[in-house]
Amino acid sequence: MKLKKKLFISVCFIIMCLSVGCSSTKDTKSIKDPTIEKSEEVAEIKENIKEVNMVKYEGVIEHLFVHPLIVYPELAYDGDYESNTLSKWFVTTKEFKNALGELYRNNYILVAYKDIYEEKTIDDKTLTVRKDLMLPEGKKPIIISVDDLNANKYMLGNGITEKLVFDKDGEIAGYVKNPEGKYIVSKDTEIVPVLETFIKEHPDFSHNGAKGTLAITGFEGILGYRIQQNSINRESELKECKKIVEKLKNDGWEFASHSYGHPNLEKISLERLVNDTTKWHNEVESVVGDTKIYITPYGSWPTKESGGLKYLKDRGFSIFAGVGPISYEKIYKDQNLVMTDRRNLDGGTLLNKRDKFLDLYDANLVIDYKGRKISK
């Protein structure tokens, strides 16, 4: 609606210019018939108005996920033990920015879980259903989620942001060690500040203030803060972390559970899942707040025999997301359950699955060839 208002103001301004004559048009000698010029401009304005018609969207909601960004590829792709993992499953800051530009050009618009689903009581049953999603005509909705924004130990020293912090303006920035070994605070680093900057420059990329969803574990703390039970700095870390979480939530970021210890749900017993989920509730949910969203580690699902899915539902999760080649969604109408899959923006898909992602972006325009030290 904000867009409409903005457009209305600019329409009024143009109409004012047309009726009273702006100094620039007044001074310019035009060989065109002014009435033709006027009708052409009015037609253009009408065309613009048509573009921001809000229409109900009922189709597929795309969902793309990424891991924390590689700010300094020279530190990530240095041939050490983690190089291959980081090359296959991660993207650089430059690649993420390129992908955002492509998504925007291809008419995608960010949407938030809170604007997609709601719980309703139907025949005495609580069910999760799709909300009426009103979007500017022609726009296609997309969720962006971030897995493991935890600054896990294997990421440290690999040119990845080690902590989300406040910069001097009170905005969220990344705290990262550069190739010279110095720590810097910069917005040109991690997904949170990069997406915030992109939306500031392209406000129509975000519907109703939507940002991304942060899927986090807890075994090494969250967002770079070592708030886990066995951390020696737990109290002071918790204090700082809560301020960042509050800012993120105020800015429109949503949180999801990515389990506590990142187990493969298909392979663990119900007992281990209970233990893992209890830890997540105690150490993470107590900080980030209640969430219905569970993003499964490795995209794997509990087996039917283990009863793991039922257990997670009983613990309050109703929207589940795995990994798959398409943005799949199934809403179970007889129970409070939504099963979805997300597509992965990472080195593996950029380098090997270009054709599967052309509806979102052209990988050839996204790949950071220089950072990855590969040729076009």
Which part of the chain contacts Zn ion (CB under 5 A), choosing from 121-129, 240-248, 291-299, 368-376?
Answer: 291-299
Smallest distance from Zn ion to CB 375, Å:
31
Q: How many residues touch Zn ion (CB under 5 A)? A: 3
CA-closest candidate to residue 244, choices 226, 218, 225: 225
Least distance from Zn ion to the Cβ atom of residue 147, Å: 4
Are 148 and 55 in contact by the 8 Å Cβ rule? The answer is: no
Euclidean distance between CA atoms 2 and 9, whole angstroms: 11
* Using rule CB under 5 A, residue 276 touches Zn ion: no
147 versus 190: smaller Cβ distance to Zn ion = 147
Q: Which range in 9-17, 141-149, 187-195, 349-357 contacts Zn ion by CB under 5 A?
A: 141-149
CA–CA dist 191, 294 (Å, integer): 20
- Identify which range of 146-154, 300-308, 353-361, 368-376 contacts Zn ion by CB under 5 A: 146-154
Considering only 5-13, 41-49, 143-151, 367-375, which stretch makes contact with Zn ion by CB under 5 A? 143-151
Q: How far is the CB of 295 from Zn ion (least distance, A)?
A: 8
Rounded-to-integer distance, Cα 297 and Cα 217, Å: 9
Write the binding mask 31 to 50 for Zn ion: x where contact by CB under 5 A, - elsewhere.
--------------------
Q: Does 148 bind Zn ion (CB under 5 A)?
A: yes
Instruction: State in angstroms the smallest separation of the CB of 149 from Zn ion.
Output: 10
20 is written with which tokens?
């009273």
- Touching Zn ion, residues 295-314 (CB under 5 A): 297
Query: Which residue spans within the chain are E strands per DSSP?
Result: 54-57, 62-66, 108-110, 117-122, 125-130, 133-136, 140-147, 163-166, 172-177, 183-186, 213-216, 254-257, 293-295, 319-323, 329-332, 337-344
Degrees to nearest 5, angle at CA 283 with 280 and 287 = 105
Query: Does position 147 bind Zn ion by CB under 5 A?
Result: yes
CB of 346 to Zn ion, least distance (A): 11
Beta bridge partner(s), residue 110? 142, 206
| C-alpha 93: how far from chain center | 14
Q: By C-alpha distance, which of 65, 218, 80, 244 is closest to 159? A: 80
297 vs 347, beta carbon nearer Zn ion: 297
220 belongs to the binding site for Zn ion (CB under 5 A): no
Min separation Cβ 155 and Zn ion, Å: 12
Q: Which is nearer to Zn ion, 150 or 318 (CB)?
A: 150
Q: Whole-number minimum distance, CB 106 to Zn ion, in Å? A: 27
User: Can you give the binding site for Zn ion, defined by CB under 5 A?
Assistant: 147-148, 297
